[in-house]
Amino acid sequence: MNYHAIVFALVITVTSTARAWDAIGHLLVDCVAAERLTPAARQAADELVKQLEFPGRAYDFITAGCWMDDIKTRRKDVPYHGMFKPWHYIDLGVGPLAPAPEFPATVTLEDYQEGDIVRGLNRAVAVLRGGDDPLIKNRAVALAMVLHLTGDIHQPLHGAAWYFTATETDAGGNAVVIANSTRALTPAQKARGYKPHYALHYFWDTAYRAKFKDGQVLIEEAKDYEEPSAAAEAGPHWFDFTARAPDAAAAAQVTDFKAWALEDHALAREKVYGALRFDETHRQTTLSREYVESSRELARRQITLAGWRLAELLNRVLDPEYLKTQKAKPASGGEF
């Protein structure tokens, strides 16, 4: 089994805690971005991803977006293993008991268990620009973070969580099960009492390829690929992003990661939670055909938008000529 197959198997088997687009989702974001990079930005990015350290693996621009999930491994020989887990999301509150959305201002820079996706993106971009950070040791790691987190922040459940009480959340939909879905469990998961259903979070991680048939939610199995270079072909297999373009205003809003998170929050409120019927505990739901199909369309839009914004960000940061040739001006008040 090659390493991406392993990554994907992991995503499937840890659905109760996984917090990301799945591996193919990240490849898709990187594929969209790759089409829009300037040659200079692409060359700089290609040089950096080669320097990513992971024993037995080599990355290219397309697969480097999976590095942050790959380091979730328990392998002690993997640099950064187990680090940065809270950096994949921010739980802006949804529901009548939720506190008002706020962005924590302070952070202990040396503590990788502290932080969120907005602060993570800001720190990674600062290092990519040549700055120092006590946890992000080089620009290759910074680039891998920017690739991954730009993808994550466009998955609505990476910017929001339902509040069961004033303090207890559904962890971005991880604690909500979809009754009309079936997932295979390992013996260990069965022994631990896992439910044989997908979680709402996992549905959104894979919604770009979700289907509805005979009353059931189906997640189409992901096609595997053997080599990192084949990822460029595996990505577009799922939908034709070249025919899509996000609306210009949304795509141009590239310099403010808080704005991206607030978009997530609004989408989660209206399209993820607002369009659902829950049981009385708010921990179980049944998806309709309409919900599955509109979610698939929204997820594809979000992946495309993430790719466009990722390319814009990398062109600005990695290509010194970009802003001059585009006659674009950095937005005021933004982070980059």
Which residues bind to Zn ion, rule: CB under 5 A?
20, 88, 152
Q: Which C-beta is closer to Zn ion: that of 85 or that of 237?
A: 85
Say which amino acid occupies 20: A
Kind plus residue range of the DSSP H or E element containing 308: helix 289-318
Q: How far is the CB of 152 from Zn ion (least distance, A)?
A: 4
- Output the CA angle 290-295-301, nearest 5 degrees: 135
Q: How far is the CB of 148 from Zn ion (least distance, A)?
A: 6
Cβ pair 86, 116 in contact under 8 A? yes
Q: Which two tokens stand for residue 115?
A: 């932080």
Q: How far is the CB of 19 from Zn ion (least distance, A)?
A: 6
Helix (H, G, I), strand (E, B) or coil at 167: coil
Q: How far is the CB of 21 from Zn ion (least distance, A)?
A: 7
Q: Which C-beta is closer to Zn ion: that of 14 or that of 275?
A: 14
Q: Which C-beta is closer to Zn ion: that of 203 or that of 212?
A: 203
Q: Which C-beta is closer to Zn ion: that of 91 or that of 319?
A: 91
Q: How far apart are CA 179 and CA 284, in angstroms?
A: 6
Q: Which C-beta is closer to Zn ion: that of 65 or that of 93?
A: 65
Say which amino acid occupies 123: R
Cβ pair 34, 199 in contact under 8 A? no
Q: Which C-beta is closer to Zn ion: that of 23 or that of 254?
A: 23
Report the Cα–Cα distance between both ends of the chain, in Å, rounded.
40
In angstroms, how far is CA 146 from the centroid of its own chain? 10
Which residue's Cβ has the minimum distance to Zn ion?
A: 20
Beta bridge partners of 161: 93
Nearest to 170 by CA among 184, 156, 160, 178: 160
HSE-up (13 A, CA, CB side) for residue 220: 16
Q: How far is the CB of 17 from Zn ion (least distance, A)?
A: 12
Nearest to 41 by CA among 153, 147, 151, 148: 147
Q: How far is the CB of 153 from Zn ion (least distance, A)?
A: 9
Say which amino acid occupies 154: H
Q: How far is CA 182 from CA 174, 205, 215, 289, in A?
A: 15, 16, 12, 16
Beta bridge partners of 162: 94
Q: Which C-beta is closer to Zn ion: that of 66 or that of 128?
A: 66
Q: How far is the CB of 18 from Zn ion (least distance, A)?
A: 8
Q: Which C-beta is closer to Zn ion: that of 152 or that of 170?
A: 152
In angstroms, how far is CA 40 from the centroid of its own chain? 25
Q: How far is the CB of 241 from Zn ion (least distance, A)?
A: 20
